Amino acid sequence: MDTEQIDEQRKRKAHERLFAYRESWPELPLEAWADTYATLHMWTQVVGKVRLALTPHVNHWWEVPLYVSARGLNTSAIPFEGGIFEMEFDFIDHRLDIRSSDGSGRTVELKPRTVADFYAATMHALSSLGIRAKIWTMPVEVPNPVAFTQDVVHAAYDREYAHRFWRVLIAADTAMKEFRAQYVGKCSPVHFFWGSFDLAVTRFSGRRAPERANADAITREAYSHEVSSAGFWPGAGLGRPAFYSYAAPEPAGFASRPVKPKAAFYHPEMKEFLLPYDDVRSASNPQATLLEFFESTYAAAADLGGWDRAALEKAA
């Protein structure tokens, strides 16, 4: 092979890597899919509440979330009358698949349709499989909630942006799992909370946290122990997608602790460090940049909080 052929081969491989990078970390401007985001938020709450209604309670509400899958977001196995079933948002073929261990299944199409229509179709599909799930139809963690049965406002579904959102979740999930693997202390799975609509992973110090004044039962359970939590929000309260990291309780000096990369900053109202998604996707190595953010913000929480890092972290 001559020099010219080698150079051409290198260019082709570089182009393939660039294409793969763009596919893995696609553009996700909030304004381009805000209506789809809002509708999908409600749809995931419908499915998440079915899982909540039928799954035994786990500490810190770990029975609640969804999980990134090879096609979208999945509930994992839900027990029901001697068998199991699962529900999966498929962002490739754009449908909600319901599959039962008895071999039966149903499909609900993901398309522009109201939350009320999606709710009715989903509950009918479950009922036709003999699955009965009584859920509270009022959405949570959103301003001015409207019951699923009455919501005819949220009805957008853009296939392209639903797919992009899922591709971002895959990239974030991969990085978070690598981050999680370095910790031998108690750590949550990487999971998607449909209430707050974010992907998260949480490390625990092993110590109980002080009681939170005036906290509701959900918050008390979620933050019963000291944590350092990291994740991804497609909106993040900033009008743009971002990664986040916070400590609860927050140790003194956390907000002023230097962290990496340079684009990361502490948001005083949200009380957490943020790293805009676009700064990650534009980096020469997005995953390494994201891991740098997770590790440096965790170190700030652990060092200032007096965690026993030697006992909690995997040896180098």
pLDDT band at 18 (very low <50, low <70, confident <90, very high): very low
What is the predicted pLDDT for the residue at 10? 58
Q: Residue 316 — pLDDT band, cuts 50, 70, 90?
A: confident
Query: Looking at residues 224-246, what average pLDDT do you find?
Result: 94
Query: pLDDT confidence of 217, banded at 50, 70, 90?
Result: confident
Confidence grade of residue 215 (pLDDT, cut at 50, 70, 90): confident
Residue 80: its pLDDT value, please? 95
Higher pLDDT, residue 21 or 89: 89
CA 71/CA 64 separation, integer angstroms? 20
For the ranges 10-14, 139-143, 171-175, 280-284, which has the lowest average pLDDT? 10-14
203-209 contacts at long range (C-beta below 8 A, 24 or more positions apart): 203/227, 203/228, 203/229, 203/298, 203/312, 205/302, 205/305, 205/307, 205/308, 205/312, 206/308, 206/312, 209/248, 209/249
DSSP string, 170-185: HHHHHHHHHHHHTB-S
Distance of alpha carbon 161 from the chain centroid: 16
pLDDT, averaged across the chain: 93
Look at 187 and 1; give whichever has higher pLDDT.
187
Q: Evaluate if residue 19 carries a pLDDT over 80.
A: no
For 75, counting Cβ atoms within 10 Å of its Cβ (0-12 exposed, 13-18 middle, 19+ buried), the class is buried
Indicate the domain borders of the chain. 32-150, 162-312
